[in-house]
């Protein structure tokens, strides 16, 4: 029984490898194998490679006899990654599984359902927690040396680690499930948590080098501090380093914790499984409702669609944060940049290059926000609604690109303002930078909608397909980035060849040319959307 349930559980977790969610069809055996290989390669090359580099940076502390500290650091990273990777699948797979009702109605023991669910969670946790730990073992074995027992201890430690992750995932999953049913603005909170994790990740990556040097230089001080105030961490590190007693004690403690966790969950599983999908009840109060124009109502509908989905906000709106962060960073580093601005490299005026590169960088960040690209596909099965209402299709399409323009415009112009304030160009160049930014915000929104209209997919079952995995988003993103790179790169040619031919004209001529091109492209896309785009939308 457990085998059957586990097979179902794993098929669900790895559904993407077995089912083409874009076409809603089963994949061929070959395609499934290829997807698994791609997944394995990504895990090994990117994740494993990253942690391999970290391990290489830290192995000197193991060389000088602090192997336990070396392992403790990677064990903590493994636990963090394992929990991050599996806590949400625990939450949805254990407590909010859609098939809990049907399984509970079948002649299946509750213990079997619970075991299969926990094994599914364990499996995911095992994969994620192994990613930092395996490179750590490999690097230490290669550069410091190993014994047969140390290899055995490493294997045992991987199991120990996965059990720690399982216990913590169950606990955190329970907390997430309990909090989630009480939250009203879940999407904003999910976005905030995801951004916090991303920020933490980049902070750690950015500071890893300094942290490693500091740790290597002061290894005795840190090791004493850990032993003094976080003894369990020392014990876990020692277990990984092959300490027999620490390994035995850690196993005993973790297995005991696992038994207690499973015991508590099994006692309350039916109650949790049958009540956890109750969402926070919003009490309806009858009140005067705000009246909107048709265009306003359609625009609000688009805004609500965007803000109700963390996937949509994170994948198609992150550029807003990039722009604000870049602008703030630029203000902080204004001193360094203004120093650069006055420099000349031979015939090249650095200030002009900074202006063009800043414009290209802003184009790159604006292009990251491709809200309009999946917006047509996101109508999905509810398309009948807008098609049956007395609304001009032009208004429906306008709302899609206007939302993107509104969301992009303020941070983009703020960023442009900071660029102008920091590099202090002449008035004309400054004006052109601002105008170009505004024009590109409009062009990219229109281009995204163009991509959304030529590559529509209404047959999705999971919104992540149009938001993240569709051709429309791919074209919009890379098309925008291509334009940004071209704008930056072409200036080198312009400055080298054309500028001299034109008699040493300033950077403003180039920016004016790009502005003219941007406006022209925007006009062409606008015309296309209002003619061909309307026809495409009406024939969906």
Partner 1 sequence: MLKIEHLTKTFDTVKAVDDLSLTINPGEIYGFIGHNGAGKTTTLKSVCGIQNFDSGEISFDGISLLKDPIAFKRQIAYIPDNPDMYDYMSGVKYLNFIADIFGVGAAERKERIKKYAGIFELTNDLGQPISSYSHGMKQKLALIGAWIHSPRLIIMDEPFVGLDPKASHLLKEMMHEVCAAGGSIFFSTHVLEVAEKLCDKVAIIKNGRLIKSGTMEEVKGDSSLETVFLDLEAEK
CB nearer partner 1, residue 291 or residue 427: 291
Residue 299 CB, nearest approach to partner 1 (Å): 11
Give the distance between the most distant pair of CA atoms in the chain. 87
Site for partner 1 in 276-295 (CB under 8 A): 279, 281-286, 288-294
Cα 432 to the center of its chain, rounded Å: 33
The count of residues interacting with partner 1 (CB under 8 A) is 36
Considering only the stretches 64-72, 173-181, 297-305, 468-476, report the one whose residues sit in contact with partner 1 under the rule CB under 8 A. Answer: 297-305
Q: CB-based contacts of 121: which residues, under 8 Å, 6+ apart?
A: 86, 89, 90, 93, 94, 166, 169, 170, 173
CB nearer partner 1, residue 382 or residue 502: 382
Residue 101 CB, nearest approach to partner 1 (Å): 14
CB nearer partner 1, residue 60 or residue 380: 380
Considering only the stretches 73-81, 169-177, 255-263, 274-282, report the one whose residues sit in contact with partner 1 under the rule CB under 8 A. Answer: 274-282
Residue 278 CB, nearest approach to partner 1 (Å): 9
Q: CB-based contacts of 49: which residues, under 8 Å, 6+ apart?
A: 135
Strands 25-26 and 19-20: antiparallel
CB nearer partner 1, residue 314 or residue 365: 314
Site for partner 1 in 337-396 (CB under 8 A): 380-382, 384-385, 387-392
CA distances from residue 459 to 32, 118, 302, 384 in whole angstroms, order as listed? 21, 32, 19, 13
Residue 393 CB, nearest approach to partner 1 (Å): 9
Q: Residue 289 gets which letter from DSSP?
A: P
Residue 538 CB, nearest approach to partner 1 (Å): 7
Q: CA triplet 159, 165, 169: central angle to 5 degrees?
A: 145
Q: What x/- string results for residues 435 through 474 when contact with partner 1 is judged by CB under 8 A?
A: ----------------------------------------
CA distances from residue 248 to 117, 256, 378, 389, 414 in whole angstroms, order as listed? 27, 12, 53, 69, 58
Written as one string, the DSSP assignment of 128-149 is HHHHHHHHHHHHHHHHT---HH
Site for partner 1 in 300-329 (CB under 8 A): 300-301, 304-305, 308-309
Q: Which of 30, 229, 504, 539 binds partner 1 (CB under 8 A)?
A: 539
CB nearer partner 1, residue 529 or residue 536: 536
Interatomic CA distance for residues 466 and 12, integer angstroms = 20
Interatomic CA distance for residues 367 and 236, integer angstroms = 45
Q: CB-based contacts of 324: which residues, under 8 Å, 6+ apart?
A: 411, 414, 415
Q: What x/- string results for residues 390 through 429 when contact with partner 1 is judged by CB under 8 A?
A: xxx-------------------------------------
CB nearer partner 1, residue 29 or residue 285: 285
Residue 280 CB, nearest approach to partner 1 (Å): 9
Interatomic CA distance for residues 485 and 364, integer angstroms = 8
Binding of residue 229 to partner 1 (CB under 8 A): no
Q: Locate 412 and state its tokens.
A: 């983009």
Catalog residues that contact partner 1 under the rule CB under 8 A.
279, 281-286, 288-294, 296-298, 300-301, 304-305, 308-309, 380-382, 384-385, 387-392, 538-539
């Amino acid at each position: 029984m457990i085998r059957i349930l586990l097979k179902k559980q794993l098929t669900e977790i790895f559904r993407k490898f077995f089912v083409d969610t874009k076409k809603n069809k089963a994949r061929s055996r070959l395609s499934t194998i290829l997807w698994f290989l791609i997944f394995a390669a990504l895990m090994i090359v990117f994740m494993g490679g990253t942690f391999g580099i970290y391990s290489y940076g830290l192995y000197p502390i193991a060389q000088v006899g602090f192997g336990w500290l070396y392992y403790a650091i990677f064990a903590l990273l493994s636990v963090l990654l394992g929990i991050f990777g599996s806590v949400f699948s625990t939450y949805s797979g254990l407590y909010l599984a859609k098939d809990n009702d049907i399984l509970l109605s079948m002649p299946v023991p509750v213990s079997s359902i619970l075991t299969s669910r926990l094994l599914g969670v364990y499996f995911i946790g095992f994969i994620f927690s192994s990613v930092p730990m395996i490179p750590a073992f490999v690097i230490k074995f290669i550069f410091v040396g190993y014994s047969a027992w140390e290899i055995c201890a490493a294997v045992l430690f991987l199991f120990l680690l996965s059990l720690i992750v399982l216990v913590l995932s169950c606990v955190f999953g329970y907390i997430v499930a309990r909090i989630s049913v009480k939250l009203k603005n879940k999407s904003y909170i999910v976005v905030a948590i995801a951004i916090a994790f991303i920020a933490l990740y980049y902070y750690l990556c950015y500071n890893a080098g300094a942290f490693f040097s500091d740790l290597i230089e002061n290894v005795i001080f840190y090791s004493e501090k850990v032993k003094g105030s976080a003894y369990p961490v020392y014990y876990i590190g020692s277990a990984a380093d092959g300490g027999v007693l620490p390994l035995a004690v850690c196993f005993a403690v973790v297995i005991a914790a696992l038994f207690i966790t499973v015991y508590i969950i099994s006692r309350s599983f039916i109650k949790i499984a049958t009540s956890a999908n109750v969402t926070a009840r919003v009490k309806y109060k009858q009140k005067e409702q705000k009246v909107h124009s048709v265009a306003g109502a359609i625009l609000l509908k688009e805004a609500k669609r965007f803000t109700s989905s963390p996937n949509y906000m994170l994948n198609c709106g992150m550029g807003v944060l990039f722009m604000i962060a870049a602008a703030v960073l630029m203000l902080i580093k204004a001193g360094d940049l203004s120093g650069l601005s006055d420099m000349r490299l031979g015939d090249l005026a650095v200030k002009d290059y900074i202006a063009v590169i800043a414009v290209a960088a802003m184009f790159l960040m604006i292009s990251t926000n491709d809200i309009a690209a999946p917006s047509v596909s996101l109508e999905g099965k509810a398309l009948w609604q807008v098609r049956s209402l007395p609304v001009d299709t032009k208004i429906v399409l306008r709302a899609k690109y206007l939302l993107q323009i509104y969301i992009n415009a303020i941070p983009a112009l703020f960023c442009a303002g900071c660029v102008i304030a920091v590099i202090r160009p002449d008035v004309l160049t400054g004006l052109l930078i601002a105008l170009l930014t505004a024009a590109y915000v409009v062009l990219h929104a229109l281009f995204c909608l163009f991509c959304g209209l030529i590559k529509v997919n209404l047959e999705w079952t999971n919104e992540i397909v149009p938001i993240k995995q569709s051709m429309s988003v791919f074209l919009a993103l890379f098309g925008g980035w291509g334009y940004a790179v071209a704008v930056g790169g072409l200036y080198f040619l312009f400055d080298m060849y054309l500028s001299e031919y034109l008699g040493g004209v300033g950077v403003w001529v180039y920016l004016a040319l790009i502005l003219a091109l941007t406006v022209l492209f925007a006009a062409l896309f606008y015309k296309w959307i209002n003619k061909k785009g309307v026809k495409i939308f009406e024939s969906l």
